Chains A and B, each alone.
Chain A
Amino acid sequence: MGRTWEFLTATRGKGRLHWTDWASYGYLCAGVFLMFFPVVWLVLSSFKTEADLQRFPPTFLPYQQQTLSVDGYDDPLPLFEMVSGDYEGMILAQVRRVGLQAQMVDPTNPGERLRVSIDEYERVESVTLAWENYTGLFDRFNFLLYFWNSTFITVTATLIMLLTNSMAAFALSKYQFRGRTFVLLLVIGTLMIPQTVVLVPLFLIVSEMGMSNSLWGVIIPGAATPTGVFLLRQYMLTIPDEILDAARMDKASEWKIYWRIMVPLSAPAIAVLAILAIMWRWNDFLWPLIVLTQSENFTLQLALNSFQGELRTDWSSLLAMTVLTLLPIAVVFTFLQKYIATGIASTGGK
């Protein structure tokens, strides 16, 4: 027991590695495996052909059977290596398979048909990425449409949220007016009631405003999030009033003070809020699921969810689409992870 706590609490290893250090690194490496492997496996699987995906047990890397064009045959023929029987060691192309028998042809001597039993050969395979899983998304599915819907919702909702929230935060941090406390309490009130528990009346309001089944029905209610007002107000409170007074001396209008002084000075907080808003809207699921019922309005998340029901066997397209859906977030994370981490920690929201 004592040793366990020593392991948990020691903060500095001196000199050589203590066994607790080994245990820590062991834990962390197990964590790396558990957190990364599922995503790596997803990406590798998304490059496998449907036939390769059906294979059990699965291979780690995506394999495809090699094919060869042989004189006298229109389509490329799949290659097999003979492992036993009369032709052992030769690489033959399969013309046709009938039950347990296969008709083969030697690529160097295409005139002659050879008859072999299928337990005498093995497929000749090489690691090949099945890019057709990805290109197929654009031909056979409306991937670009879903991508556009998601992007449009994310960008528009983020811009509306940044504008309205920064204006409100400016008013709540830099003006003394009657009713300020009341407004602050109202904002705290909305913090308590998340969208998930007002779905029914929210749906009524949105459909009465003619926004059901339209992207705006997702964008506008999504902008009514109190987190941003809090985050920006906290930051704007730290901006000294003297700067504002100086600008007023120079006869700057209040709008100019907001736009030319407050917004640029709050840029770090606005950036954090922008990242959060982009994540919220891109990953949003329940509300779009309720508002958007026609597939031409689906976001990527809705499309993914509905395809996994419809195309139960078409994992190759589904996996490729999953990778493309997580890609934008992965790119954002790689470049901005420091801001994301501090932003999420400081607002307690995600």
Chain B
Amino acid sequence: MRGDGIGLTLISPIMRVIEIPMLGLQRLLGVNRLAWVFLVPNLLLFGLFAFLPIILNFFYATTGGDNVLLDDRPYVGARNFLNLVDCSNYLDPNSCREDKFWRAIWNTVWFVTLQVGIMVGFSLLTAIILNRDIKARGFFRSVFFFPVLLSPVVVALIWKWILQREGVLNAFLDWTGIGGVNWLVDAEWAFAWSVFLSVWAHMGFYTLILLAGLQAIPRDVYEAATMDRASPWRVFRRITLPLLAPTMLVVLILALIKGVQTFDEVYAFTGGGPGTATTFIIQYIYEEGFAGAPRIWGMAAAASILVAIVLVILTLIQLWVNRNNVDG
């Protein structure tokens, strides 16, 4: 694969200039230690914009006030965390000191459960159907996949336009005689449509992974089963499901990780409303730290750390599953 495009002829003089100091460093450090020079730009970026924030997050979480500069923030110990979990009944956000946080938590829990369940279910069904002897498989696969590429704001506006009061869905429902609903004003409908929108936008991605998992199952396993006159149900339960299990687990965990971080499309779709019906945990962090008038950085950081713990656990499971896959 040779790359001799216009872009390269523009860049190669620059690269030739960089070669001069790099050659000097190579003489100075030796070949193996030059590796660090190659790593420096990337490590600088990671250090400043990935590691440093992780550490600073703890400083913010343990300090109070609304000043962003660390020097001007009084140390408060674990008070931000204690405020977050100050609740007489965790199931009832109204009994909590930070009721909005708990509303966001419960909304997120419900959302993730429904969204991941429905999405993985439909992705599996779609992948199994696409894995059959289907004509125009490539076409159908890309049809289910293309919403993955749309931006969250575009997805939100597409559906807002369909669901608005005088939108096409209400026109259809009026025509059938069922009657329209003001979808995004009703708390439960707004939540249900947020789940739907999220499934619509992301299921193609998981379908793709599951389809790859199904296609990796060797054909001769199925042929052997057919020879033994195993019933299709038995084939599915004894062959397809066990062999697909690792892929299913990866899909499930990836979907959970993404689901917990849901913000963009729902924020652009409902703005978190009506009320707080579709406010999820990332929106809580965003609003505490960046949207409100007193910017409560400490609470935002403390809530971030709680989310980060959940994500780290999920990612560790994912890495562990992946390692098992490689070994197996």
Contact = CB atoms under 8 A, between A and B. Distances in A.
B113 interface: no
Contacts, number: 306
A68 interface: no
A237 interface: no
A35 B159 CA distance: 11
Nearest to B297: A200
A264 B2 contact: yes
B304 A253 contact: no
Contact of B42 (A13, A58, A167, A264): A167
Given A319-B161, A333-B146, 8 more contacts: A31-B143, A56-B166, A171-B35, A192-B312, A255-B15, A309-B271, A341-B142, A348-B209
Contacts of A19: none
A286 to B, nearest CB: 6
Contacts of B267: 285
B51 interface: yes
Contact of A290 (B53, B261, B290, B297): B290
A24 B50 contact: no
Contacts of A175: 31-32, 34-35, 38
Q: Taking each of A27, A56, A201, A337, which has the highest tally of chain B beta carbons within 10 Å of its own beta carbon?
A: A201
B143 A32 contact: yes
Contacts of B42: 164-165, 167-168, 229
Interface in A241-295: 253-256, 258-259, 263-265, 267-268, 279, 282-283, 285-286, 289-290
A254 B22 contact: yes
The SS class assigned to the A binding surface is: helix
A176 B32 contact: yes
A58 B131 CA distance: 39
Interface residues of A, number: 108
B254 interface: yes
B158 A264 contact: no
Given A200-B60, A224-B49, A290-B286, A322 B158 contact: yes
B285 A199 contact: yes
Given A175-B35, A255-B19, A326 B56 contact: no
B22 A253 contact: yes
Contact of B49 (A202, A229, A265, A319): A202
Interface string B198-209: 001000010011
B157 interface: yes
B308 A200 contact: no
A27 B129 contact: yes
Interface of B: 1-3, 12, 15, 18-19, 22-23, 26, 31-36, 38-39, 41-43, 45-46, 48-57, 59-60, 68-70, 125-126, 128-134, 140-154, 157-162, 166-168, 171, 174-175, 200, 205, 208-209, 212, 222, 231-233, 235-236, 240, 250, 254, 261, 263-264, 267-268, 271, 282, 285-286, 289-290, 297, 300-301, 304-305, 307-308, 311-312, 315-316, 319
Nearest to A257: B31
The 8 A-B residue pairs with the shortest CB-CB distance in the complex, in nearest-first order: A201-B56, A57-B171, A198-B53, A5-B233, A168-B42, A175-B35, A283-B151, A171-B38
Q: Taking each of A2, A34, A220, A341, which has the highest tally of chain B beta carbons within 10 Å of its own beta carbon?
A: A341
A194 interface: yes
Given A196-B261, A196-B263, A57 B174 contact: yes
Given A45-B161, A56-B166, A199-B300, A168 B308 contact: no
A38 B193 CA distance: 14
